[in-house]
Amino acid sequence: MNSRDRRIKDMKENVYEANIRLPKEGLVKLTWGNVSEVDYNYNVIVIKPSGVPYSSMKPEQMVVTDLNGNVLEGQYKPSSDLPTHVILYKHFKDIRSVVHTHSKYAVMWAQAHRDIPAYGTTHADTFYGPVPCTRDLTSEEIEQNYEVETGNVIVETFKNRLIESNAVPGVIVYGHGPFTWGNSVNKAVENSIVLEEIAEMALHTEMLTVYRHPQISNNLLDKHYLRKHGVNAYYGQVENSVRV
């Protein structure tokens, strides 16, 4: 087995394990979700097959495509959301994995056409500001190339609002649901878990405060985000060293 084949085998296992996590984490029901991984060295994407139940899914069923979404390996059709993943990989160059779910609380915000506000430090630890909700797709966009235009409207949202995809590793698509991403499949799934948690927390915050929904200060937002992700980040352990 050559290095490319070994890498693709590892990617299939990674993507399979990440997809299996989605129902375990309560993020999907039925077949409502997908995870992909990209490798720019070998110019391949691996993604979940379309409509295959999680209970019967196997690593070898994961579908291999090129960077344009053309199938290279596999007897199954790739996820119908593959074109959206392709667009995100083309425009958000630092990401290596994309996750899409229909998790309940994130979808509520998407259906309400509202950003998820940064109400607390749980939010700020991962998302450096509100999680944006995209605009509605036009009838033409829906009818002509729906999944591609879903990716395009995500990219448009981040461009127009001057949001960095690394600083806010997720979005909710109006009337549809959340997409998250990361520099690994595990990180992308973790960001989906966090997104669903903060979506639920934000909903209950608004229910409890009724008329007043104060977002956290910029100072507190900066502190919690930058202590994990900033140049002088100090949260967690230093690799290859031991703290005493």
Q: Give me the pLDDT at residue 244, please.
A: 36
- 243 pLDDT higher than 80: no
Give the separation between CA 92 and CA 87, rounded to whole angstroms: 8
Give the separation between CA 235 and CA 98, rounded to whole angstroms: 25
Q: Exactly one of 5, 40, 94, 235 is catalytic; name it.
A: 235
Q: Give me the pLDDT at residue 239, please.
A: 59
CATH code, residues 3-229: 3.40.225.10
Q: Exactly one of 10, 39, 76, 125 is catalytic; name it.
A: 125
pTM, entire model: 0.87
- 152 with 84: CB under 8 angstroms? no
Q: Give me the pLDDT at residue 74, please.
A: 77
Torsion of CA 141, 147, 153, 158, to 10 degrees: -170
Q: What residues does each domain of the chain span?
A: 3-229
Catalytic, 125? Answer: yes
Determine the average pLDDT of the residues in 42-52.
95
Q: Give me the pLDDT at residue 213, please.
A: 65
Torsion of CA 199, 204, 206, 211, to 10 degrees: 180
CA nearest neighbour of 192 among 118, 102, 121, 84: 102
pLDDT tens readout for residues 130-182: 999 999 999 999 999 999 999 999 999 999 999 999 999 999 999 999 999 99
pLDDT above 90: percentage of residues in the chain: 78
pLDDT tens readout for residues 65-120: 999 999 998 789 999 999 999 999 999 989 999 999 999 999 999 999 999 999 99
Q: Position of tokens 């990989």? A: 89
Give the separation between CA 17 and CA 126, rounded to whole angstroms: 22
- 103 with 178: CB under 8 angstroms? yes
- 130 with 118: CB under 8 angstroms? yes
Q: Give me the pLDDT at residue 5, please.
A: 87
Per residue, what are the HEC states of the chain? CCHHHHHHHHHHHHHHHHHHHHHHCCCCCCCCEEEEEEECCCCEEEECECCCCHHHCCHHHCEEECCCCCEEECCCCECCCHHHHHHHHHHCCCCCEEEEECCHHHHHHHHCCCCECCCCHHHHCCCCCCECECCCCCHHHHHHHHHHHHHHHHHHHHHHCCCCCCCCCEEEECCCEEEEEECCHHHHHHHHHHHHHHHHHHHHHHHHHCCCCCCCCHHHHHHHHHHHHCCCCCCCCCCCCCCC
Q: Give me the pLDDT at residue 149, please.
A: 97
Q: Give the pLDDT band (50/70/90) at residue 42.
A: very high
The residue with greater pLDDT, 38 or 5, is 38
